[in-house]
Every structure is written in structure tokens, then in C-alpha cells.
Amino acid sequence: MQIYLPIAEMSVDALMLVGIGFVVGWLSGLFGVGGGFLLTPVLMLIGIPSTVAVASGANQTLGASVSGLIAQARRQNVDWQMGGVLVAGGLVGSVVGVQIFAMLRRAGQVDAAVAIFYVVVLGAVGTLMMMESIRAIFRRSRKQQARRHNHSWAHGLPLKMRFRKSRLYISIIPPLAVGFVIGILSAIMGVGGGFMLVPAMIYILGMPTAVVIGTSLFQVVCVTASVTFLQAIQVGGVDIVLTLLLLLGGVAGAQFGAAMGGKLRGEETRALLGLLVLGVAGSLFWDLLRVPQTLFSVGPAW
């Protein structure tokens, strides 16, 4: 069933979009991530212009994260205070990110730049995930306990604030910086950034794992909303028809994935997620390296 996307100005198969949404939703439910880092590259692969893929990917991640945030908030697993600091950094980051994106579009370098961001960020995160989970699997086999406390350099900076829910007394500079960086990446890559935010909250901020998921979802919902707003105003790439079709499949897939994810062990799940992240990075890197089929491209001038 073909449907005309009013902003992308092209006709695509609606069932294929729902199917893509379902598969990405299933994987994101399985691994407990938003799935934006899978969705945006797949959209570009099927020929959606990268400006529309990034903006609509952020919009879809917003929708996919809302129900998770509500569930976590009900279970009181959100540190609103820490979330507020992260969001403050994230909002500034998303503004900066959309300016960078608009500048790249004027220079005609959006496709290559988005691909490079994906390769670098996903490559680094995927490698870290793999290393961490392999180490964890080995540790388990040696029956050793992991360290409970993580006192990092982040605890020695000024502007300290007490976060009761996270039982932390740390400077607000690290969470602001983390939020800022995730905000930039969210705007350029069309992702929520949960897969980078969660490790940053555990290892850099030293937050207890119980509140990490809920708090990261709070940041993801706020920042993707901001990215959607700014992209729609400045670049005009948010296609609501595309977003809603992806969400239709995505929310169904996420429930099935989450049900299945409960049966997997944490370390294996993280190793699989790391493999998936590295796979996406690898295929985008290959696209950058290989000689393009057509050297020329044409587009309307602005």
C-alpha cells in the first residue's frame, strides 16, 4: 500500500514503514534502548532524504520513549532533580546541534557528516559495550564481585549539589556536560541517545542503576521534543505521516521485544547490543569508503 509522505515529497510503501517500525521497536524493547540509532540509518537506506530521516527519527524516538517514562515514573524510578540538570544541558546541546545540522545542509554535507557521526559514536560505544560485557562474563565465570562504588574524577569539581534520589553529592558540571553532548548528538543523528546516556550516568556520574533507566528516559523525551521542534522550524524535515507509521509498528514491536528481553541475562544482552551497534557502524563506514555508484547528485538549491 503506497502512501505519499507530504514533507519527504515521495511515495513509499506504508506496510514497509510499519514493518521497519516493528523490527526496530522489537530490538529496542529487547535491549531496553530507544532504537533511534537503528531507525535513522534504515530510513536513509530506503531512500528517505537524510534531513527528513534525522528529524522524523527524533520525533519517533520521542513517541517510543513516552510510555517507558510513564512506567518508570509510576515506579518512582526517576531522579527528577538529576534529570532536570541533564535536560538543561541537553536543551542547549540540541539548539547547538540543530545549528550545526542546518550549516551542514547549506554546505551540502549532511549525508557524509551524519554517516561519520554514526560511525564514530556507534563504533566507540559498541566497542566499549563489547569490552565491558566480555569482561563481565569473564568476571562471572571467576565468581568475583564487581565493585559496588564508583568514585570517579567527576566527584572533585566545584558547584556541588545534593541529589537525594541518586544519593549523590556531586558537581553539576558533569551532568550538564553529559546532557549537552547527548543533545548535540541527538540533533545531528536523530536519536534519543539512551545507549550513550545510560553508561555515562553509571560510569561518569556514578548513579545507582535503579534510577538510571527512568532518568535517562526523562532526558530523552525532553531532548527529542526539543530536537523535533527546532528541526521542524529551522530545517523543516519532520514528516508526521512517516513518524506515526513508524510508531504504529514500533510500539507493538517494543512490547514483544521487552517480553523476550526479560528472559536474557544482562551481560549477554549487552554483548548482543554491542554487536548490533558495531554492525550498524560498520555498514555505514563501508558506505563512506566504497566508490559511490553515481558520483553526481542533484537537489533543489536553497
Residues that bind another protein (CB under 8 A): 2-4, 6-7, 9-11, 59-60, 62-68, 70-71, 108-109, 111-112, 116, 221, 225, 228-229, 232-233, 236, 238, 240-241, 243-244, 247-248, 250-252, 254-256, 259, 288-292, 294-301
Would you say 70 or 161 has its CB closer to another protein? 70
**Helix (H/G/I), strand (E/B), else coil: 164:** coil
Shortest distance, position 275 Cβ to another protein, whole Å: 24
Nearer to another protein, 1 or 146 (CB): 1
What single-letter amino acid sits at 243? T
Cell of 24: 526496530
C-alpha distances out from residue 144 to 130, 133, 140, Å: 19, 14, 6
End-to-end CA distance of the chain: 33
Give me the least distance between CB of 116 and another protein, in Å please: 8
Nearest approach, Cβ of residue 217 and another protein (Å): 11
In this complex, which beta carbon is closest to another protein, that of residue 4 or of residue 138? Answer: 4
Please state, in angstroms and rounded to a whole number, the distance separating the CA atoms of residues 193 and 198: 9
Q: What is the 3-state secondary structure (H, E, C) of 50-105?
A: HHHHHHHHHHHHHHHHHHHHHHHHHCCCCCHHHHHHHHHHHHHHHHHHHHHHHHHH
Sorted by sequence, the CB contacts under 8 Å of residue 9 that are 6+ apart come out as none
Q: How far apart are CA 162 and CA 170, in angstroms?
A: 7
**Minimum distance of another protein from residue 22's CB (angstroms):** 11
Cell (9 digits) for 257: 521485544
Q: How far is the CB of 300 from another protein (least distance, A)?
A: 6
DSSP string, 123-142: HHHHHHHHHHHHHHHHHHHT
Q: Which is nearer to another protein, 154 or 191 (CB)?
A: 191
For another protein, which is the closer residue by CB, 175 or 249?
249
**Residue closer to another protein, measured from CB, 61 or 133:** 61
Please identify, using beta-carbon distances, which residue of 99 and 171 lies nearer to another protein.
99
From the CB of 16, what's the least distance to another protein, in Å? 14
Least Å distance, CB 187 to another protein, is: 14
Pull the grid cell for residue 127: 566497542
